[in-house]
Amino acid sequence: MILSNNTAVSSLEKMGVGEEMDIQSGYRLKDKEESVALDGLLYDDDKLYTAIFENNAFATGINESAQVMSLEKEIERERAYFAQLFENSPDAIVMLDSLDRVIKCNRCFEELFGYTTEELYGEFINDYISPQELKSEAEELSNAVTAGSIVKRETLRRTRSGKNINVLVQGHPIMHRGLQTGIYAIYTDITEIKKRERRIERLALRDSLTGLYNRAFFSDSLKKAAREAKHGSNCFCVMFIDIDDFKKINDNLGHDSGDMVLKIAASRIRKCLGEDDVIARMGGDEFVLLLRDVASRSEAAVKAKKIIDSFKKPVRVCRRECHVSISMGITLYPQDGWDYSEIVRKADMAMYSSKNAGSSGFRFYVESLSQKSREEFEIETGLRHALYRGEMFINYQPIIDSSKNRIVGAEALLRWRHSERGLIPPGRFIPVAEKKDMIAGLGEWVLENTCRQIRSWNDMGIRLDFVAVNISVKQLEDREFIEKVRRIVERTGIDPDQLEFEITESISMDNLKNRQGVLNELDKMGIRLALDDFGTGFSSLGNLKKLAVSKLKIDRSFISDINLNEHNTAIVSTIIAIARILGLSVVAEGVETREQLDFLRGESCDMIQGYFFSVPLSKSDFEKFVKLQSSPGSTDII
């Protein structure tokens, strides 16, 4: 049927087209914006029309075909799919209009915040779930999404009960034909994650026994005080405190009593300090104080006497009274040095001078306390000749897979046998090497010789999963470090994945941005990375996830008190649990007893290292140890 244009319009209306459509020939039908396509198909929401053009006229007919029905069903399926996706999402989702007014909430939103769609419909979302102190932040996020941006931020939101919860907010603009018509706001509940982060951060900042700050926090505070003093006229003093004869307390009254004495000592010292002063436990029975605005020895002496006098009252432990005294060393900034580490070191020297002079007293640092300095000079001089004299050697301590009872790796440990003074402990020469900028050279020597040893063992048929080498901050700061490592690996011909670098927690977190680039390069090379002495530094989970580490090593200070100190026991369990969540393996170092081993196995600790299995061994003794384990008929290690 051929119709004139006017007749066609009338005919379409009679055929039930109740909504306006734009037709490319220029005709409008009622109030619909859809139009006839170039192929002659005319669409509205419900029916498909065929338009046949001829001399500015067309014939119409309704083609309610199977194709149209299929299209309608597909649209309906998609609508149902997205409706279920919205409603059943594990995240709380709310659909807003362009003015931030609520259109619809999903079930998770109602469960998380306690509000229903009916209650919030047409209301401004931020009036209900944004805490008053975060209103401006919430408006800033809304404005950004309204402007077309996608936003993502961790923040706080408030439930109907008035409880603040940690959420990850994501805002996505709803676009239609190029225009922003609304907002999808998605809220992920991260309250438990934040609790775990805060717990591990507390462990990193605080001493678990006394609740005082730890060494890492004190070091950071001292650096800050030194920077402020350099830019002003501020002065401060550092006091290094040690409990006299503390070992006798532990030996005679037990470790529980010793812990109680430490808590009481911490409490008494803290009560003598001002609000701006800092007290930290350095470890064992040592405490260190940062006293601000103390400019003279006379002022420091008044403070010191007040602290010492607080110990005149007997300490009551386990229904017994015991007298506890302390020895103290004092340094003043800047009189005794400009470097924060030097200030602490000299206070430590003064404390030992006080202890040697008799208990319960204090000493200021003076230049005559030079014996320790002379010893350091002798160690420094010896270190400069130790390598070419052949006095340095490497021992290897086995690392055991706790579930399979087999050797999986080893840690390379630098040792020094002085030609005159004999074996010098690492704790005495490593700090000197670091201070005198010799640690990078020693570290490179250890790395090269360890790689050669790995290759030698491979050729002998002793293939370990990994051998760990300690890396210092000086090496990480060396711009050529990555290239040096690459050359050593290529020269020795080992597989990079057999090499593991151990970095301390404090090193990894200090100047994180620069460290991260170096660590990522090492990871790309295939070299494993482990975080050593974990639990003693300052790692937030957020920072930990940025590092390319695959393993955590629990510090021996926590292992030694397992089953003796409930706080350390809890810390070890927490670290293992967090590592499991983050997909990291765990090594417990310093394992010396069967009780410690059984506990760690019960907590599913992956690897064990310590004297319980073996002391650090020479390369020949290590080979015998491995061969003995792998020999026919041999039994498990333990």
Over residues 115-168, the pLDDT tens digits come to 999 999 999 999 999 999 898 898 899 888 888 889 999 999 999 999 999 999
How far is 453 from 432, CA to CA, in rounded Å?
27
Handedness of CA 463, 464, 465, 470 (dihedral sign): negative
The domain made up of 380-626 has a fold known as: TIM Barrel (3.20.20)
Give, in order, the Cα–Cα distances in Å from 187 to each of 109, 192, 422, 591: 8, 14, 64, 44
Q: Which residues contact 537 (CB under 8 A, 6 or more apart)?
A: 204, 216, 504, 505, 506, 508, 509
CATH of 72-189 among 3.30.930.10, 3.40.50.300, 3.30.450.20, 3.40.50.720? 3.30.450.20
Residue 120's pLDDT is 93
State whether residue 302 is helix, strand or coil: helix
Q: What is 200-369's CATH superfamily?
A: Reverse transcriptase/Diguanylate cyclase domain (3.30.70.270)
Give, in order, the Cα–Cα distances in Å from 264 to each of 212, 391, 430, 502: 12, 46, 34, 36
% of the chain residues with pLDDT over 90 = 44
Cβ atoms < 10 Å from Cβ of 370: 12
Contact present, 171 and 144 (Cβ < 8 Å): yes
What does the block give as tokens for 15?
């055929």
**Which residue, 441, 408, 356, 370, is CA-closest to 630?**
408
In 89-161, which residue ranges form alpha helices assigned H by DSSP?
Answer: 107-113, 117-120, 126-129, 135-146
Scan for tokens 């290897």, then name that residue.
396
**Which residue, 529, 600, 610, 614, is CA-closest to 571?**
600
Scan for tokens 């026919």, then name that residue.
632
From the number of C-beta atoms within 10 Å of its C-beta (0-12, 13-18, 19+), residue 628 rates as exposed
From the number of C-beta atoms within 10 Å of its C-beta (0-12, 13-18, 19+), residue 111 rates as exposed
**Which residue, 635, 631, 553, is CA-closest to 587?**
553
Domain boundaries of the chain, sorted by first residue: 5-64, 72-189, 200-369, 380-626
Do 380-626 and 200-369 fall under one CATH topology?
no
| Dihedrals phi, psi of 239, to nearest 5 degrees | -115, 130
How far is 403 from 203, CA to CA, in rounded Å?
28
Residue 354 confidence (pLDDT) above 90:
no
How far is 513 from 543, CA to CA, in rounded Å?
10
Top-confidence residue, 437 or 306: 306
Contact present, 394 and 417 (Cβ < 8 Å): no
How far is 207 from 281, CA to CA, in rounded Å?
7
Assign residue 567 a region (left: φ > 0; alpha: ψ between -120 and 50; beta: otherwise). alpha
Residue 61 confidence (pLDDT) above 80:
no
Over residues 167-209, the pLDDT tens digits come to 999 999 988 888 888 999 999 999 999 888 877 777 778 888 8
Q: Which residues contact 91 (CB under 8 A, 6 or more apart)?
A: 108, 186, 187, 188
Residue 268 confidence (pLDDT) above 90:
yes
Assign residue 469 a region (left: φ > 0; alpha: ψ between -120 and 50; beta: otherwise). beta
Residue 216's pLDDT is 85
pLDDT band at 253 (very low <50, low <70, confident <90, very high): confident
Whole-structure pTM value = 0.48
Contact present, 120 and 102 (Cβ < 8 Å): yes
End-to-end CA gap in the chain: 97
Cα-based torsion angle of the residue sequence 295, 298, 300, 306 in order, rounded to the nearest 10 degrees: -150
Scan for tokens 């402020």, then name that residue.
228
What does the block give as tokens for 472?
């210092």
State whether residue 13 is helix, strand or coil: helix
Residue 22 confidence (pLDDT) above 60:
no
State whether residue 113 is helix, strand or coil: helix
From the number of C-beta atoms within 10 Å of its C-beta (0-12, 13-18, 19+), residue 602 rates as exposed
State whether residue 43 is helix, strand or coil: strand
What does the block give as tokens for 317?
């432990």
Q: How is residue 44 annotated by DSSP?
A: -
Assign residue 362 a region (left: φ > 0; alpha: ψ between -120 and 50; beta: otherwise). beta
Q: What is the mean pLDDT of the chain?
A: 82
Q: Is the peptide bond before 334 cis (omega within 30 degrees of 0)?
A: yes
**Which residue, 445, 390, 438, is CA-closest to 417?**
390
Over residues 68-127, the pLDDT tens digits come to 677 778 878 888 888 888 888 899 999 999 888 999 999 999 999 999 999 999 999 999
Cβ atoms < 10 Å from Cβ of 88: 10
* Radius of gyration of the chain measured on its C-alpha atoms: 36
∠ CA 162-164-168, nearest 5°, is 135
Mean pLDDT computed over 560-572? 84
pLDDT band at 50 (very low <50, low <70, confident <90, very high): very low
pLDDT band at 556 (very low <50, low <70, confident <90, very high): confident
